[in-house]
Chain A
Amino acid sequence: NAGVTQTPKFRVLKTGQSMTLLCAQDMNHEYMYWYRQDPGMGLRLIHYSVGEGTTAKGEVPDGYNVSRLKKQNFLLGLESAAPSQTSVYFCASRPQGGGYNEQFFGPGTRLTVL
């Protein structure tokens, strides 16, 4: 199993450009998440999904859109990139169920917006 994979690993954008980050998981997990990680701050949840075809806003959703057309994929889009979106982006997934189920993380995408 590859676990959670993210594409691309690095990207540099100019202000106003758009891009899509791809997250894929092969563990048949129901829940998927997109986080951003900034220096001196913990991870902040951007959007999440509780199943195929569903998405919901997290803590910092502005400037991002997501789609979950297939259970195994969760896409994060930036329509018009801004320097404030320079960050490391992590995708995570976890199985459905009560209590606490461990989140499994991808290796991250480092995005720089000039």
Chain B
Amino acid sequence: GDSVTQMEGPVTLSEEAFLTINCTYTATGYPSLFWYVQYPGEGLQLLLKATKADDKGSNKGFEATYRKETTSFHLEKGSVQVSDSAVYFCALKFPDSNYQLIWGAGTKLIIKP
């Protein structure tokens, strides 16, 4: 079945380090792809999205490119801050599915000053 796999956490980095959180998916069609972020004590919020191959989503210094050939949507940021500490979720959705997102397990990111 369709699924999303994320790298296991926690990922611990120093401030200003380069970040990559891997996300790969298995799907029979051409889904839209998303990254959501959950800050401590809060609900999830949409970080960025891409709806077709080679699209790049970006927000708050984070980027992810929809790679159909490798079925991946890795999240990157050039210089992380302590305030980026959170749990990051990768998810996918098919155009004909109005209601359900398929979620990865989440990756906890810890940034040390």
Contacts and interface: CB of A to CB of B under 8 A. Distances in A.
A4 B42 CA distance: 11
Interface stretch (A13-21, A65-73, A79-87, A98-106): A98-106
A40 B105 CA distance: 5
A113 interface: no
Given A100-B32, A100-B51, A42 B45 contact: no
Interface in B34-92: 34, 41-46, 49, 51, 89, 91
A78 interface: no
B28 interface: no
Contacts of A37: 106
A103 B43 CA distance: 11
B102 A42 contact: yes
Place the interface of chain A in its size category: 20 to 34
Given A41-B105, A43-B89, A105 B100 contact: no
Interface string A80-97: 000000000010100000
B45 A105 contact: yes
Contacts of B104: 42
B43 A106 contact: yes
Nearest to A50: B99
A42 B4 contact: yes
B99 A42 contact: no
A100 B98 CA distance: 8
Contact of A4 (B43, B46, B95, B102): B43
Contacts of A105: 43-45
A62 interface: no
Contacts of A42: 4, 89, 91, 102-106
Contacts of B93: 100
